[in-house]
Amino acid sequence: MRSLTLGAVNAARFARRLTASLITLVLCGAVALAAGTLSAAGTQQADATLRTGSGLRQIDVRNLDDSGETAKRLTPAALASLRGLPGVESVEPSLNASFTVEKTTGDGGEGFPVLLYANLVRPSVSPPLQASVRERVFPLRPGEIVLPARADGEDLTGLLGRTVTAEYTRRTAEGQGTGVSARVRVVGISDPAWQWDGPSAAHAAPGEVAAWAAARSGESPERFLAGEGYSGATVVATSESQVGPVVAALTERHYFAVGVRDRVAELPGVLGLFQWLSQGLLVLVTAVGVLAGLGIGGAVVRTRTREVGVLRAVGWTRSEVFRAFSTEIGLLALAAGVLASVLGTLIGGGSVLGLSTLEEFRQHLPGGWVSPPLWQSAATVLLSVAAVLVGAMRPLRKAASLDPVAVLRDW
């Protein structure tokens, strides 16, 4: 007990001498925990998104694999055959086509074009609306379109309820095309932060999207879909347990398919970087802790040998001396770990709050305060203590083994 008491007293007495080492340990641990909080928040938001509607039962089928190689074409006939597979509840095709709408100026002057991408509406992942002309907008009727609230930095909410001109290109020859226009009515305004269909995504009736996509190839919609097919499809399984068997069945038929849960769980670029940064900094915390332990333990051997000699002279055993200095160093490391945990929680939670207000991160981060997972906070504290004690082990054993007579005589 007396060794623990002495260690606690000395930790308070000599903490100031070790400020540099402890601050380095605190900063590394805090940044690692903050980065871990950001990546955990991204994963949390992805899980929350998947648990709405049929998210956990969705399978993403594409006409290109991750390497860009062409997979089996998703023609209407092919999708019809997929609907008959065991465990499949529905098959929802996806297709997009670029077009422009004219954003008029507020004073009635000449407008300017805004580039958008028309997509098919999939019932399982329909876009959230900020405003609409009627209570139930989906399914869209022929000649109707839903625009994002903002695109290319322009506010499009003023177009709600208006009939606008959509301009797109029809291919006439190799490398040549002509402009074509279509009149569509804006019946809804969607949240631009919702980017399941990509940035600047609009949603139009099936006839319009097919016609605009086919025009790029200079073909009729029927011929285009029968030849090139849709760009992708969402297959909804009857239950979560059927996702694996359905993916396997699609793969056997040479379709490129992956569960939406797996795809969404992959954090976007910057958040994924934070995940790697957190793991890398935890390794750095370990290295810094070991080095700090070596430095602190070495300082005991160099500067506090008289204290060791006095303790041994008054009857303290080697193990008691070792425990006293280990307690001192362990308490300092514990304080540094706790401070790193608190600071990392504040930095990480504040970063989530700040980044969630930006359009680039709004879809990927929750809007409220996010605390790091309990295991990460505990790991930050325990790793700091363990690393410092491991580093200090050898010099402390050397200090405890000093000959008290020789030490006091040399002093």
pLDDT of residue 254: 87
Average pLDDT, the chain: 81
Of 219, 237, 265, the residue at which a domain comes to its end is: 265
Is the same domain home to 340 and 218? no
Is the same domain home to 235 and 316? no
Can you point out the beta strands (E) in 16-105?
Answer: 58-62, 88-94, 96-103
Find how far residue 183's CA is from the centre of its chain.
Answer: 39
What is the pTM (predicted TM-score) of this model?
A: 0.58
CA-based nearest residue to 358, from 193, 238, 162: 193
Is the same domain home to 369 and 341? yes
Is the same domain home to 38 and 98? no
Domain that holds residue 295: 1-49+267-410
pLDDT band at 258 (very low <50, low <70, confident <90, very high): confident
Is the same domain home to 176 and 271? no
Burial class from Cβ neighbours inside 10 Å (0-12, 13-18, 19+) for residue 87 reads middle
pLDDT digits (tens, 9 = 90+) for 194-207: 777 888 899 999 99
Q: What is the DSSP letter of 241?
A: G
Most confident of 206-210, 331-335, 371-375: 206-210
| Residue range 362-383: mean pLDDT, rounded | 79
Of 265, 297, 321, the residue at which a domain comes to its end is: 265
Is the same domain home to 246 and 217? yes
| d(C-alpha 390, C-alpha 300), whole Å | 15
How many helices (DSSP H) and strands (DSSP E) are in the chain?
A: 13, 13
Question: Up-side HSE of residue 272: CA atoms within 13 Å toward CB?
Answer: 7
Is the same domain home to 250 and 194? yes
pLDDT of residue 327: 86
Is the same domain home to 24 and 67? no
Tally of domains within the chain: 2
Q: Quick one: which H or E segment has residue 130?
A: strand 129-132
Is the same domain home to 32 and 175? no
Is the same domain home to 190 and 294? no
The dihedral formed by the CA atoms of 393, 394, 396 and 398, expressed in degrees to the nearest 10:
160
